[in-house]
Amino acid sequence: MTRIILFYLIPWVLVGVALSTIGALIIWGCAKGIAQIKRATFLSSWGLCGILISVQLACLAVWGLWPSNVDTLFFILFWAVYSTMSALYITKIYWKCTFRQSFMTHMNQIILLILILVFLFVERV
């Protein structure tokens, strides 16, 4: 049992911490530099990153309940809108900023998401 924990669980936890730290650095940099949010600190952006990851996991849990006869591309579009809007509203509430500042904080993620969606739709057609 300890072998399983040492060799399988701990590396995934370390990868999760590393990726959430990178995500927090990106959010913090955008919040301080682009959006000019005064309340943004690295630790608060790391907490925000944890909240946003939890929202994403909840959306993936819905994927398990999604009817199999509905198109997968429709779910991806639903997920994109849901995750973007939840990230904007959660950031707005979390840092008590304007919607514009929240949008500017997540602008790079929104642009990347739009590019991925365009690629998926082009590949589909």
Phi, psi of 98 (to 5 degrees): -80, 165
> Taking 90 as the threshold, does the pLDDT of residue 5 lie above it?
no
List pLDDT tens digits, range 32-57: 999 999 989 999 999 999 898 888 88
List Cβ neighbours of 107 (8 Å cut-off, separation of 6 or more). 30, 34
What is this structure's pTM? 0.80
